[in-house]
Amino acid sequence: MIVKRPFWLDLIEQAWTKKNVLWLMGIRRVGKTSLCRSIPDVEYFDCELPRTRQLLVDPEAFLISKNGKRIVLDEIHRLENPSEILKIAADHYPKVKIIATGSSTLGASVKFRDTLTGRKKEIWLTPMLMQELKLFGDEDIRHRFLFGGLPYFFEQETLPEKDFGEWIDAYWAKDIQELFRVGKRYSFQKFAELLLANSGGIFEASKFTTPCEVNRQTISNYLAILEETFVVQVIRPFSTHRATEIVMAPKVYGFDTGFVCYSKGWTNIRNEDLGLLWEQCVLNQICGQLQIKNINYWRDKKGSEIDFVVSNKKDSSISVIECKFSSINISSNKFALKELVKNISIFRSNYPSGKNFIVSYDVDKSFVRRFEDFELHFVNAEQLINEL
């Protein structure tokens, strides 16, 4: 049974009011096909099938036959020239509503000769959002952490370790080889495994050259491919080039808590693991609901650090986001509040405008604590999005 996902369906409908061509992108098995099939009054075409590719040999004839309709072109990269039909539709057939899917950004693959700049709207389908757990029948956060946010994996009753491994093999065969033609399978997969196992860590290319048996430039190329195909998210440091700030090294997060746990060899979640995995879920929530990638972290040379920093272009304010799985031991504990405020105060001494958010899983109703000269807004993941 296909689960209806209201947030994503509404996002698609809103996007279609602005452009008739949508690019639905996201990691393999994140649920793109099921989501597309759940769109009301849509005709579905699987471009992996030869008969579908034959239908699209003459793009204009196909689009004429679909005038006024909604259509899905799933796995469109399997076409010989996938950008051609999308460009023709955008320029000449505005009444045909198209949603095309792929496992990478549109410009990542050499198969796309035109990135359709200005002609399309992009939607980034991330792993499951917090409010979707109930839709998929399990609100246990530890289950979400360990099994991950890809619907198939999340719905399993026992940990599907074999399926995690098969997913990685399929990613190599279908995404990397077909779209990028990368050599050295061992080196690439080893690099991906190491990044997932070290999710949330500071990235230094030199640390990977020896275990992956490649040079720094190849590591940089691998990282770009993993980012373009949504296997990792690169969070770059926020900086105005002050002398005390670290301005170069990014942090790299794996795309999904389930695959992070799998790469670490975890088969159960310990209390000390909750913070890291919660931070990953908060990042996923921001990216999915706000559809943004311009998220930063902040760190100075003395080691003071802020988990996430989001800039508001409208009023030039800067939101500070600290992820703490539980708020109970922080909000009423002066010592814990002092430790929390220490880094925020250093950051705010240079960037005073904006709210300070503490995002916790156990916050039901948002509340504010004032400590020293700072207001701390305690929110859950959904409330954070409303505030941002």
Q: Residues with Cβ < 8 Å from 116, sequence gap 6 or more?
A: 21, 23, 83, 86, 87, 90, 106
Residue ranges of domains in the chain:
6-124, 130-290, 304-387
pLDDT digits (tens, 9 = 90+) for 121-139: 999 999 999 999 999 999 9
Say which residue, 312 or 205, is predicted with more confidence.
205
Tell me how far apart the 2 most distant CA atoms of the chain are, in Å.
70
CA-closest candidate to residue 104, choices 30, 187, 21: 30
- Tell me, what's the pLDDT at 334? 83
What the block records as the tokens of 57 is 């040999």
Could you tell me the pTM of the whole model?
A: 0.93
pLDDT digits (tens, 9 = 90+) for 56-89: 999 999 999 999 999 999 998 888 888 899 999 9
The CATH number corresponding to 6-124 among 3.20.19.10, 1.20.950.20, 3.50.50.60, 3.40.50.300 equals: 3.40.50.300
Strands 367-371 and 374-379: antiparallel
pLDDT digits (tens, 9 = 90+) for 264-289: 999 999 999 999 999 999 999 999 99
The CATH number corresponding to 130-290 among 3.30.460, 3.40.50, 1.20.120, 1.10.10 equals: 1.10.10
